[in-house]
Amino acid sequence: MSSDTSDNKLKIVNEMSLEDSQAMSTNLRNFNIEQSKGLSTKPETSFNLTLKSETGEVAGGIRSRAFYQSLTVDFLWIDEKFRRMGYGKDLMLKVEGMAKEAGCISANTMTMSFQAPQFYEKLGYKIVGVFEKYPEGIKKFFLEKKL
Protein backbone atom coordinates (compact mmCIF):
# COMPACT_ATOMS: atom_id res chain seq x y z
CA MET A 1 0.00 0.00 0.00
CA SER A 2 1.25 3.47 -0.77
CA SER A 3 0.08 7.02 -0.31
CA ASP A 4 0.87 10.08 -2.37
CA THR A 5 2.51 13.09 -0.77
CA SER A 6 1.02 16.52 -1.34
CA ASP A 7 3.32 17.43 -4.25
CA ASN A 8 2.64 14.11 -6.07
CA LYS A 9 6.35 13.71 -6.90
CA LEU A 10 7.09 11.13 -4.22
CA LYS A 11 5.02 8.37 -2.70
CA ILE A 12 5.23 6.63 0.66
CA VAL A 13 5.36 2.85 0.32
CA ASN A 14 4.53 0.52 3.24
CA GLU A 15 7.45 -1.82 2.60
CA MET A 16 11.21 -1.75 2.25
CA SER A 17 13.24 -4.11 0.10
CA LEU A 18 16.79 -5.12 0.93
CA GLU A 19 17.96 -2.94 -1.97
CA ASP A 20 15.99 0.04 -0.60
CA SER A 21 17.54 -0.47 2.83
CA GLN A 22 21.05 -0.72 1.36
CA ALA A 23 20.54 2.45 -0.70
CA MET A 24 19.40 4.34 2.39
CA SER A 25 22.36 3.03 4.43
CA THR A 26 24.84 4.00 1.71
CA ASN A 27 23.40 7.50 1.37
CA LEU A 28 23.30 8.04 5.13
CA ARG A 29 26.88 6.78 5.50
CA ASN A 30 28.06 9.15 2.74
CA PHE A 31 26.33 12.06 4.49
CA ASN A 32 27.86 11.05 7.84
CA ILE A 33 31.37 10.85 6.36
CA GLU A 34 30.96 14.32 4.92
CA GLN A 35 29.58 15.83 8.13
CA SER A 36 31.69 14.04 10.77
CA LYS A 37 35.09 15.24 9.60
CA GLY A 38 36.20 11.71 8.81
CA LEU A 39 35.18 9.96 12.03
CA SER A 40 32.70 7.75 10.25
CA THR A 41 35.24 6.57 7.67
CA LYS A 42 36.45 4.02 10.20
CA PRO A 43 34.44 0.81 10.00
CA GLU A 44 32.16 -0.18 12.84
CA THR A 45 33.82 -2.87 14.97
CA SER A 46 31.85 -5.47 16.93
CA PHE A 47 32.96 -6.75 20.32
CA ASN A 48 30.80 -9.77 21.11
CA LEU A 49 31.67 -12.22 23.88
CA THR A 50 29.86 -15.35 25.05
CA LEU A 51 30.02 -16.82 28.55
CA LYS A 52 29.75 -20.63 28.43
CA SER A 53 29.59 -23.38 31.01
CA GLU A 54 31.97 -26.34 31.01
CA THR A 55 29.33 -28.27 29.05
CA GLY A 56 29.09 -25.55 26.40
CA GLU A 57 25.77 -24.12 27.58
CA VAL A 58 25.39 -20.38 27.01
CA ALA A 59 25.39 -18.73 30.43
CA GLY A 60 25.64 -15.13 29.28
CA GLY A 61 27.21 -12.72 26.90
CA ILE A 62 27.64 -9.20 25.69
CA ARG A 63 27.03 -7.67 22.30
CA SER A 64 28.64 -4.31 21.63
CA ARG A 65 30.06 -2.20 18.83
CA ALA A 66 32.50 0.65 18.41
CA PHE A 67 31.76 3.56 16.10
CA TYR A 68 32.70 7.26 16.19
CA GLN A 69 35.31 6.49 18.90
CA SER A 70 32.54 5.28 21.21
CA LEU A 71 31.61 1.83 22.46
CA THR A 72 27.89 1.08 22.47
CA VAL A 73 26.83 -1.87 24.62
CA ASP A 74 23.72 -3.20 22.90
CA PHE A 75 23.04 -5.85 25.52
CA LEU A 76 24.55 -7.77 28.38
CA TRP A 77 22.85 -10.88 29.73
CA ILE A 78 23.86 -13.32 32.45
CA ASP A 79 21.82 -16.42 33.34
CA GLU A 80 20.11 -15.87 36.70
CA LYS A 81 22.00 -18.69 38.41
CA PHE A 82 25.33 -16.98 37.58
CA ARG A 83 24.42 -13.40 38.48
CA ARG A 84 26.22 -11.50 41.25
CA MET A 85 29.37 -13.59 40.71
CA GLY A 86 31.35 -10.98 38.76
CA TYR A 87 30.76 -12.35 35.27
CA GLY A 88 28.89 -9.27 34.07
CA LYS A 89 31.64 -7.01 35.36
CA ASP A 90 34.28 -9.21 33.70
CA LEU A 91 32.48 -9.04 30.35
CA MET A 92 32.06 -5.26 30.59
CA LEU A 93 35.69 -4.67 31.51
CA LYS A 94 36.85 -6.96 28.71
CA VAL A 95 34.88 -5.14 25.99
CA GLU A 96 35.82 -1.74 27.42
CA GLY A 97 39.48 -2.75 27.18
CA MET A 98 39.01 -3.98 23.62
CA ALA A 99 37.27 -0.72 22.73
CA LYS A 100 40.07 1.38 24.25
CA GLU A 101 42.61 -0.56 22.18
CA ALA A 102 40.49 0.23 19.11
CA GLY A 103 40.64 3.96 19.91
CA CYS A 104 37.36 4.48 21.75
CA ILE A 105 37.26 7.32 24.26
CA SER A 106 33.77 6.72 25.66
CA ALA A 107 31.15 4.04 26.20
CA ASN A 108 27.36 4.16 26.35
CA THR A 109 24.45 1.86 26.97
CA MET A 110 20.75 1.78 27.79
CA THR A 111 18.97 -0.17 30.51
CA MET A 112 15.51 -0.37 32.07
CA SER A 113 14.64 0.25 35.71
CA PHE A 114 13.88 -3.46 36.21
CA GLN A 115 17.24 -4.44 34.72
CA ALA A 116 20.56 -3.10 35.99
CA PRO A 117 21.02 0.69 36.25
CA GLN A 118 22.91 0.31 39.55
CA PHE A 119 25.22 -2.30 38.00
CA TYR A 120 26.35 0.16 35.33
CA GLU A 121 26.71 2.98 37.86
CA LYS A 122 29.04 0.76 39.94
CA LEU A 123 31.18 0.40 36.81
CA GLY A 124 31.49 4.17 36.49
CA TYR A 125 28.66 4.89 34.09
CA LYS A 126 26.69 8.10 34.61
CA ILE A 127 22.99 8.46 33.84
CA VAL A 128 22.67 11.11 31.14
CA GLY A 129 19.00 10.70 30.30
CA VAL A 130 15.82 9.03 31.50
CA PHE A 131 12.49 8.28 29.86
CA GLU A 132 10.31 8.44 32.97
CA LYS A 133 7.33 6.50 31.63
CA TYR A 134 8.46 3.80 29.25
CA PRO A 135 5.71 2.59 29.68
CA GLU A 136 4.03 3.65 32.90
CA GLY A 137 5.96 2.34 35.91
CA ILE A 138 9.15 1.57 33.95
CA LYS A 139 12.06 3.94 33.38
CA LYS A 140 14.52 3.71 30.50
CA PHE A 141 18.02 4.93 31.42
CA PHE A 142 20.73 6.17 29.06
CA LEU A 143 24.25 5.95 30.46
CA GLU A 144 27.76 6.94 29.41
CA LYS A 145 31.30 6.54 30.67
CA LYS A 146 34.66 8.03 29.76
CA LEU A 147 37.12 5.26 28.90
Q: What is 42-146's CATH number?
A: 3.40.630.30
Q: What is the pLDDT along the chain (147 residues), one digit of tens a residue?
A: 555 556 678 889 899 999 999 999 889 888 887 887 766 656 678 999 999 999 999 999 999 999 888 999 999 999 999 999 999 999 999 999 999 999 999 999 999 999 999 999 999 999 999 999 888 899 999 999 999
* Torsion sign across C-alpha atoms 106, 134, 48, 21: negative
What distance in Å separates the CA atoms of residue 42 and residue 46, rounded to the nearest whole number? Answer: 13
pTM for this one? Answer: 0.78
